[in-house]
Structure 1
Amino acid sequence: MVIKLDLYRIFCVVGKNQSFSGAAKELFMTQPAISQSIMQLEKELDTRLFNRTPKGVTLTNEGSLLLEYANSAINLIEIGEEKIAEFKNLTIGELRIGVGDTISKYFLLPQLEAFRNRYPNLKLKIENGTTDSLISLLKSGGVDIVVCNLPVDDPSLNVTPCMDIHDTFVYGDKYRKLLARPIGFRELAKLPLIFLEPSSNSRKYVEDHFLSKGVKISPEFELGSHDLVVEFARMNMGIACVTREFTKDYLESGALHEVQLTEQIPYRSIGVCSLKSVPLSPASSRFVELIEG
């Protein structure tokens, strides 16, 4: 089919020029090569396409009919090639990202703004959810990449860490006297705790670390968003497990205070997940490069 496509391209140029020599100049080929190509196509189709005359060539009726279709087909192919180039240059296309609300607000928004300013014609589709639900969406083809809390242990995924984050506990003014000194996990677990809901990857990570130390937690409140957790702590409802980097404004303003733990919770990361079995699109690759940089 590739050989035939080349023959059709030559046929269209000859038909346009009504001349083998004119087509040879335009295509940077020799005239015998042009003539041989037309003869090969005529043999393939078992039809004469040109009348040869001393002044050049003219299309037969069959040739005129074929030229109309061949020109349309080649034009469509060229348009398709242009569209592919546009996709590669990110002048058209769509990037579908799965991301949680908190990461979207505190980490991804500046990256999205920079990406949109660089590629204004690219459509962005954002799907929100928990890490588990977004990974399922990625596997079903609903999104191109997922930006989520790590760790994610799945052999079918490429996982690229992008930013280190630290889990910590914060409290309001009501608990300042009680928490004026460093405390351990076991003592902390006896206080009224505020956590994200159990399906949250952040919650699972901290809970698993406490369990590895022999400490089981029983939160007083289990909430659906990091912002709610922070607000409950600010209203002195309890001691909240939060991401330090996403609570910086509250801590710096003095609205909340950080618990001094005798042992720090190991840091983890925010990262990008993609399917190993599916190559990243040009848009996905550029976006991953942006947030890694």
Structure 2
Amino acid sequence: MALNFHQLHIFHTVAEKGSFSNAAQALHMTQPAVTMQVQSLEDYFGTKLFNRSTKKIELSEAGRTLLPFAKRSIDLMKETDVSMSKFTHMLEGRLHLGASMTVGEYILPRLLGPFGKEYPNISVSLKVINTRQILDEILNHQLNFGIVEAEVHHPDVHTEAVMNDELVLIVPREHPLTRFDKVPMEEVLKYAFVLREQGSGTRRVMEEQLEQAGYQAADMTIVMELGSTGAVKSAVEAGLGISILSQSSVKHEAALGVLHVKMIEGVRFSRSFYAIYLNSTILPISAVTFVSFLRERDLGQWL
């Protein structure tokens, strides 16, 4: 019997999750299949890798020795996929991902066309929901990976910046704030706000950047919270309030003159978009290729 990467990945996941059942869930395998692969690995080395009891499992001395090598093999496999993805133009398969609202509605549609031309044999399935929902679906193994608008801090999730963006103040046509080149924050806070809902990446980034500049969300008069960027734009256009949204999401309305884009004096809402997926997941090559495409291309030519 030869040593193989699949067994090392399973062993690493069992060690990371602390049980065969949790590892099976993370790997989308049955518990007996996970147990069998670990036993095969133990047979290969001729030693036990885990000390098992009725309540828990712990790494044996041999298992502790093997663990860093297993991790290095997983990291090397991921690096190999990234390096080889640039050569896989005839790659076939299905790319299934989740994207948070702004990314899914206004950013990715402009990038999937160029990606499709470069990789014509990859079909794309895109699910657009908010950042919190994407994280939940990844943790529950309903999605392989997602592109979100705010950094995710979770011990089981890998987060990697892949694109940059900036939030801007938007106001309706003929609003008093249009007279400013850069609007003082004291003027901004005089007016009612229409914002994205709690749990959205846009809302979270806005609040974090305001706090860094010395302001609080509590300083704002929030008259409405809406579940999509499109709804927020329509409400601002109707004069119900002002808002802070991704510059990429309001280009069309700004070009038509129905909304005005303004910068706030002394506050910069710069952010990244992030690819997120489970630490225990080896992404399919189609997903690795897409993440590499976002990270390495000059996306400004399409946005």
User: Could you tell me the TM-score, scaled by structure 2's length?
Assistant: 0.61
Question: Is it true that 1:90 corresponds to 2:96 in the alignment?
Answer: no
For structure 2, the 5+ residue unaligned runs are: 3-87, 298-303
Q: Which amino acid aligns with 1:90?
A: L
Cα distance change on mapping 1:264 and 1:210 into 2, 3 Å? closer
Alpha-carbon RMSD across the aligned residues, in angstroms, is 2.5
- Aligned-partner Cα distance in 2 for 1:120–1:252: 32
Aligned ranges for residues 20-169 of structure 1 at < 5 Å? 90-91=91-92, 93-169=93-169
Counterpart for residue 264 of structure 1: 267
Question: Using the alignment, how far apart are the partners of 2:146 and 2:126 within structure 1?
Answer: 10
Distance 1:240 1:123 in 2: 35
Counterpart contact for 1:171–1:238, Cα < 8 Å = yes
Q: 1:179 deviation in Å?
A: 4.3
Corresponding position of 1:252:
255
For the 8 Å contact 2:89–2:119, the answer to whether it is kept is no
Q: CA deviation at 1:147?
A: 0.8
1:96/1:144 contact within 8 Å kept: yes
Q: In the TM superposition, what whole-angstrom CA distance separates every residue of 1:176-234 from its partner, at most 9, and x where no partner exists?
A: x3442344334422311111112212112212333441432231121111112112222
Distance in 1, matches of 2:264 and 2:111, equals 33
8 Å Cα contact 1:168/1:258 also seen in 2: yes
> Which residue in the other structure is 1:180 paired with?
179
- Counterpart residue type for residue 99 of structure 2: V
Q: What is the alpha-carbon distance in structure 2 between the residues aligned to residue 89 and residue 121 of structure 1?
A: 7
Query: What secondary structure, in the 3-state scheme, does the structure 2 residue paired with 1:280 have?
Result: coil
Residue 290 of structure 1 corresponds to which residue in structure 2? 293
Identity of aligned residues (%): 20
Q: Is the 8 A contact 2:171 2:177 kept in 1?
A: no
The unaligned stretches of length 5 or more in structure 1 are: 3-86
CA apart distance, 1:145? 1.5
Q: Secondary structure at the match of 1:219?
A: strand
Deviations 1:104-161 (A, max 9, x none): 2321123323344454554433222111110121122212210110222223322222
Which amino acid in 1 is paired with 2:272? S
Aligned AA for 1:266? F
Counterpart-to-counterpart distance in 1, 2:281 and 2:254: 42
Residue 207 of structure 2 corresponds to residue 197 of structure 1: no
How far apart in 2 are the matches of 1:227 and 1:139? Answer: 28
Is the contact made by 2:162 and 2:272 (CA closer than 8 Å) also made in structure 1? Answer: yes
Q: Structure 1 88/117 Cα, relative in aligned 2: closer, same or farther at 3 Å?
A: closer
The CA distance in 1 between the partners of 2:150 and 2:273, in whole Å, is 6
SS in 1 for 2:153: coil
Gap change, CA 1:141 and 1:89, over 3 Å in 2: farther
Of the two, which has the highest radius of gyration?
Answer: 1
Query: In 2, Cα distance between the equivalents of 1:261 and 1:110?
Result: 27
Pair 1:258–1:95, CA change in 2 (3 A): closer
Matched letter for residue 97 of structure 1 = L
Distance 1:173 1:128 in 2: 29
* Count of matched residue positions in the alignment of Structure 1 and Structure 2: 207
- Whole-Å separation in 2 of the counterparts to 1:88 and 1:291: 15
Aligned equivalents of 1:260 and 1:103: distance in 2?
21
Query: What SS does structure 2 have at the residue aligned with 1:270?
Result: strand
Determine the C-alpha separation between the residues in 2 that align with 1:128 and 1:108: 10
* Change over 3 Å in CA distance of 1:141–1:115 after alignment to 2: farther
The alpha-carbon distance between structure 1 residues 138 and 187, as it changes in their structure 2 partners (threshold 3 A), is same
Higher relative contact order (CA 8 A, sep 6+): 2
State whether residues 197 and 227 of structure 2, in contact with CA within 8 Å, keep that contact through their aligned partners in structure 1. yes
